[in-house]
Structure 1
Amino acid sequence: MNWETIDANAKQWVKEAGEKIRLSFKSKLNIETKSNPNDLVTNIDKEIEQFFIQHIRAVYPEHKIMGEEGFGDELQDLGGIVWLIDPIDGTMNFIHQQRNFAISIGIYEDGVGKIGLIYDVVHDELYHAFRGKGAYINENPLPKLKEATIKESILAINATWVIENKRIDHNLMIPLVRDARGTRSYGTAALEMVFLAAGRVDAYFSMRLAPWDFAAGAVIIEELGGVVTNLRGEKLDFLSRDSLFAAKPGLHQTILKDYLKSGQW
């Protein structure tokens, strides 16, 4: 299997898809809801996923595809080569802001992340990693992540989890937020993960994400020495929804031990 060719093709398709999205800014979106009124999907999400699937099927018919909008395969396992695709991560931002969204593609072989691509379409920034060969923004290499303390850290976390909610006991998160230097929320898992990779934030938390939300980001962060698990400190399951906790080395272990160990995640 020529992984360099797969990587080159994936990057080309991501850039072409990004141009399609930029051209869509002037057109009227067809917006639908999915699981709830705030779970939005547009005609562009669907068109971009189908764009990728058509190209992958034409060149790599033996590869499997998991896509957010449901046009891929029904997977029971991660055997072989699997593309995990989120055509627009941050659809609400895409609709309301026309920024703060990204294309996210993780390419895995037998459950191991080989390639991670996250494209910030508006800023024309392609974050990418090839397992064992480093991580980059466009052609600029990203340095390895350094350890940080909680008091000097900026945490990417949605304010929803620090107020009363149906999913977790919000009181468990308050000490963590109180002790950190600051918090940020961007509304897109893909960008929050690459902001961690680029050193713009130090840790990222989410209580429920799908595999296509974190597949690409996990490859990029781990290539730089960061740690990606669920909130219980367990390895991620790329076939089901789970919580997510990604952080710089050292900081991950500290937060897990001192703040998250008592939680029912």
Structure 2
Amino acid sequence: QTREHLDIVKLLGIQHGIFVITKSDLVEKEWVKLVEEEVRNLLNNTTFENAPVIATSVTTGKGIEELRNLLYQKLSKIPSKQDFEIFREPVDRVFNVKGFGTVITGTVLSGRLKTGDPVEIQPTGIKTRVRTLQTHEAEVNEVNIGYRAAINLAGIELNQVERGDVLVQPDLYRPVEIINGELTILHSSPKSLKTNQRIRFHIHTAEVFARIIIPDQKELKPGDSAYVQIRLEKPIHAAYQDRFIIRQYSPQITIGGGIVL
């Protein structure tokens, strides 16, 4: 599973990371060193070859302060992400708060949002407005790119929004059922991907069944890249340069990923 997660991180274009060995108090020091060595070997010849590897324990406090300092150091050196000012927040959780109504949570992908702003739920196109905003359990008047945000939606029932939806600035996007993209098959993929093969398509927090059409080719072998057409079994929200992951229909194994064109 760790190897699969590393493959997914690479496919998503993530450039920075800290690798943490948790619960290190439960095993002997020699075992922790072996795990650390295995992690470093796993990271060889990847973007994360020189990334920090640290052992921690929340029970004893080991490594926690060092991890905190490393996070601050890393964050201070990472340039701010380019923001196109169009608000988008993929929904990862939906729940009801008594006296307030429906609340969604997610990470702001781009833009900013203020209390009272109009928003649209994609792909359904339902329009609503922001009643209240919270980040890290504190009420705020505004959230922007990178924030974890809980958004209380006015007049929305619990069954009108779900994980996989995306909250967006109104009247700018249409749901899509066909996506053109650039796809790379992992070297570790157990099989080739055949044209018209049914797969699981993951983008943001959504998972949809789809078929991959490979123009002028019958299949893509492990390590291959190509321009493809993705035909979804139901509409979703997707935009130019969004990253996606594909997995086998069954068994559920990550086989590749790419970028929306």
TM-score (norm 2): 0.23
Q: Which has the higher helix share?
A: 1
The structure that is strand-richer by fraction is 2
